[in-house]
Amino acid sequence: MVNTKIANASRRSFLQGAAGLTLGFCLPAIAAPAGAGKAAAPAGQPFEANAFLRIGTDDSVTVIAKHLEMGQGSYTGLATILAEELDADWQTVRLEGAPADASRYNNLFWGASQGTGGSTAMANSWDQLRAAGAAGRAMLVNAAARRWQVPAGEITVRDGIVSHRRSKRQARFGELAADAAREAVPASVVLKEAKDFRLIGKQAPRKDSVDKTNGQAQFTQDIQLPGMLVAVVAHPPRFGATVRGFDASAARRVRNVVDVVQIPSGVAVLASDTWSAKKGRDALQVDWDESRSFKLGSEEIVARYREMAKSPGLVARRVGNTEQAFAGAARIVRATYDFPYLAHAAMEPMNCVIRLSERGCEVWNGEQMATADQSRLAAIFGLTPEQVRINMLYAGGSFGRRANTHSDYVVEAAQIVKAIGGKAPVKLVWMREDDMRAGYYRPLFHHALEAALDAGGQLTGWRHRLVGQSILLGSPFESMMVKDGIDAVSVEGAANLPYAIPNLLVDLHTPKDIDVPVLWWRSVGSSHTAYSTEVFLDQVARAAGKDPVAWRLELLADHPRHRGVLRLAAEKSGWGTRLPAGVKGTRRGRGVAVHESFHSYVAQVAEVTVAADGTVKVDRVVCAVDCGIAINPDNIRSQIEGAVGFALSAALHGEITLKEGAVVEGNFDTYRPIRIGEMPRLEVHIVPSTAKPTGVGEPGVPPLAPAVANAIGAATGKYPDRLPFRAEDLRA
């Protein structure tokens, strides 16, 4: 049995409370006291066991989710953890998005900040929600014991029913809710052992499936408030350009357009409906001041980065002595790789609804960084953060875009509200083109690698140089995650290369004069470092005459979890067996990659067919994942499947191109996610584990592109050195 102590910071106020019960509570590992001040409910009101759980007299069990549901299954996962310890009936469990309140709902890995990202939702909630569920259960049990005058130790709970076998009594949660609200919060709780789990590790159906299949799920895009205006904004044609002047006469003539206002990020047209606002925006004549705008194209940036890669950068990791290793090498292998800017292109373009009133500011949005956005809004409106109320909605994808360290689109919505003096609620809507051209891309990167092999074919040296913009410089995370000039997320996946190589050097150039806004994109640094390291390793293996799987296993002797997923993926994919030939003229190959990100381990084996003209079709991908205890195995499979498709979109087609500073791509005709016919057959296998759960939203992304590239290499002898793959590089 596991004992977890609960520090009840507000026990006294609870006991004295008169109007509603919200107990803040926290685990001993958390230094900060939980939110205080709890007013409390009279009898008959729902039982608010703590900040994460409310039980209604109608038996409903409401789990308060502090993390955004953007598709990754966080709501279902959070509910599973809590409902397991509560012994709730899964059917009665529902979810509610938490308000923005860092005192109760912070991400435990982020300090005093509430947010969703870095695949942390399950990992940071695991202990917290187990304790929350167990505390709620204990209070229900104590209430039943008091009512029935029996020892609490004889009471059992299952599927939302509290029973005492000897006296043949039982009660539903709802019948005990009012009494439970008057029970003391237990000082410590006993958690289940894994063998007793009834929901964790089983198939708990998604909680958002019904609403997302009947059109009822509420996204920001769907919010309509009385008197609300829709705003569509004319943004500058290049980053850094500003408004010199504008002519709104044609825009104002559009039916239903009610206002046109200048804001720091452009000119906003407000109308009573979306289409009119868009028509008005398109009719605007804006004179842009481009004197300080950024005017380089992608090609010039790549050329500049290649030049920079010729000189040493700041050292991110050094092991042994690479000078010596390369001087004494029998053979040196070299390669470079180029990665483009990538847009998140969530299906729901960015948007935000804000209403200002005497009481403060109310926001409707899917928030990945709720409390950071809250403080920014408070500053804009001259309010306290508590006066900014955020209603959490589903997000139609995000992939990192809604975790903007500068709150770009949220601030834009606020500036519009401010410009009209708060006279109406505003829904800011970005059209697809606005969304795609607004920046905050996965940064463009250039990598250069060299490996030294000795006469026996042993890998003795590895040098890896990266060139690319920093995401964290100038962000609130800078002090925490930029050390000695090295942005941790620029080199993650490269500096912590797991392979046993005696001499290793990883260095980094961070250009500071490229004014393209950049941001984390699903799997962040690993979205490029997994590619360069895993493809290069295959190229070196080929030079050394080694089998890619066997050699990796050998070099990963000290990394059992890497080995575990690698072995499983190799076995399930039939590694080492002959791949059936494709139709005449095509070339087929199988490739592997393994990568750890966000403390989860994923290996993938891809099978590809390369046509004579160089086009690539991915036929099958076998994935193995180790993310600790599998809270919801089906959601893990679903996330890895989605990650494969997301990563494949980038590998086959994904590229944001700048021409003289302007973004070329605007919609899905030029920035192409894969379509259904391009989706490979997929298998996802989960390594059984007793380790604490870690994330699955991102870790499926990094190994895909290198596994496919290595399959292409096996099929053609050519390893793509720029992304996305180009048919002209792979012609027979």
Residues within the interface to another protein (CB under 8 A): 70-73, 205-206, 208-217, 219, 221-222, 224, 230, 255, 273-276, 345-349, 394-399, 431-432, 634-635, 638-639, 641-646, 648-649, 667-669, 673-677, 679, 681-682
Cβ-contact 466, 313 below 8 angstroms: yes
Task: Name the 3-class secondary structure at 657.
Answer: coil
Smallest gap from Cβ 620 to another protein, in A, equals: 11
Half-sphere exposure of 245 (CA within 13 A, CB side): 2
Instruction: Say how far apart CA 344 and CA 243 lie, in whole Å.
Output: 27
Nearer to another protein, 179 or 434 (CB): 434
Say which entry of another protein, ligand FES, none residue 718 contacts (CB below 5 to 8 A, set by partner kind): none
Residue 280 binds: one of ligand FES, another protein, none (C-beta under 5 to 8 A by kind)? none
Q: Which amino acid would we find at residue 475?
A: S
Q: Do 368 and 68 touch, CB atoms closer than 8 A?
A: yes
> Would you say 205 or 328 has its CB closer to another protein?
205
CB of 397 to ligand FES, least distance (A): 5
721 binds, among ligand FES, another protein, none (CB under 5 to 8 A by kind): none
Q: Give which of another protein, ligand FES, none residue 456 binds (C-beta under 5 to 8 Å, depending on kind).
A: none
Number of neighbouring beta carbons within 10 Å of residue 206: 17
Distances (CA, A) of 116 to 185, 378, 401, 404, 407: 28, 21, 11, 11, 14
Q: Which does 258 bind (CB under 5 to 8 A by kind): ligand FES, another protein, none?
A: none
Nearer Cβ to ligand FES (220/539): 220
Residue 221 binding target from another protein, ligand FES, none, CB below 5 to 8 Å by type: another protein
Supply the minimum distance, in Å, between the C-beta of residue 349 and another protein.
Answer: 7
Residue 128: C-alpha distances to residues 192, 264, 411 (Å): 14, 41, 32
- Min dist CB 307 to ligand FES, Å, is 39
Q: Choose from ligand FES, another protein, none: what does 646 bind? Cβ within 5-8 Å by kind.
A: another protein
Amino acid residing at 279:
K
Count the residues of the shown chain that bind ligand FES, applying the rule CB under 6 A. Answer: 3
Q: What's the closest the beta carbon of residue 365 comes to ligand FES, in angstroms? A: 17
Query: How far is the C-alpha of 34 from the C-alpha of 89, rounded, in Å?
Result: 28
User: Pattern of binders to ligand FES over 25-64, x per CB under 6 A?
Assistant: ----------------------------------------
Tokens representing residue 727 in the block: 């048919």
Instruction: Read off the tokens for 161.
Output: 């029913």
**Interatomic CA distance for residues 658 and 300, integer angstroms:** 9
- Interaction partner, residue 211 (ligand FES, another protein, none; CB < 5-8 Å by kind): another protein
- In the bound state with ligand FES, the residue whose beta carbon lies nearer, of 397 and 654, is 397
- Of residues 368-427, which lie at the interface with ligand FES (CB under 6 A)? 397
Selection from 518, 466, 528, 441 nearest residue 493 by Cα:
528
Evaluate whether 381 touches 346 at the Cβ level (below 8 Å).
Answer: no
The tokens describing 667, both together, are 């919609």
Q: Which does 157 bind (CB under 5 to 8 A by kind): ligand FES, another protein, none?
A: none
Closest to another protein by CB, 225 or 481:
225
| 71, 517, 713, 720: residue in contact with ligand FES (rule CB under 6 A) | 71
Nearer to another protein by C-beta: 498 or 680?
Answer: 680
Residue least distant from ligand FES (Cβ): 347
Q: Which 3 state secondary structure label does DSSP give 591?
A: strand
Closest distance of CB 553 from another protein, Å = 29
How many CA atoms does the CB half-sphere of 629 hold within 13 Å? 20
Pick between residue 199 and residue 448 the one whose CB is nearest to another protein.
Answer: 199
Q: In the complex with ligand FES, which residue's Cβ is closer, 128 or 638?
A: 638
Which is closer to ligand FES, CB of 345 or CB of 568? 345
H helix or E strand, kind and range, residue 381: helix 370-381
Terminal Cα-to-Cα distance of the chain (whole angstroms) = 62
Q: How far is CA 274 from the centre of its chain?
A: 29
- Which residues are bridge partners to 592 per DSSP? 605
Is 664 exposed, middle or buried (CB count within 10 Å of its CB: 0-12, 13-18, 19+)?
Answer: middle
CB of 206 to another protein, least distance (A): 5
CB of 129 or CB of 204, closer to another protein: 204
Query: Cβ 564 to another protein, closest distance in Å?
Result: 24
Integer Cα distance of 332 and 75 in angstroms: 50
Least distance to ligand FES, CB of residue 645, Å: 10
CB closer to ligand FES out of 642 and 702: 642
The enclosing H or E element of 645 equals helix 633-652
CA-nearest of 247, 312, 669, 624 to 466 is: 312
d(CA 730, CA 722): 12
User: Could you say which residues in the range 335-354 bind ligand FES, by CB under 6 A?
Assistant: 347
Contact status, residue 424 vs residue 502, Cβ threshold 8 Å: no
The residue (of 171 and 233) whose beta carbon lies closer to another protein is 233
210 binding ligand FES? (CB under 6 A)? no
List % helix, strand, coil for the chain (3-state, nearest 5). 30, 25, 45
Give me the residues that bind ligand FES (CB under 6 A), please: 71, 347, 397
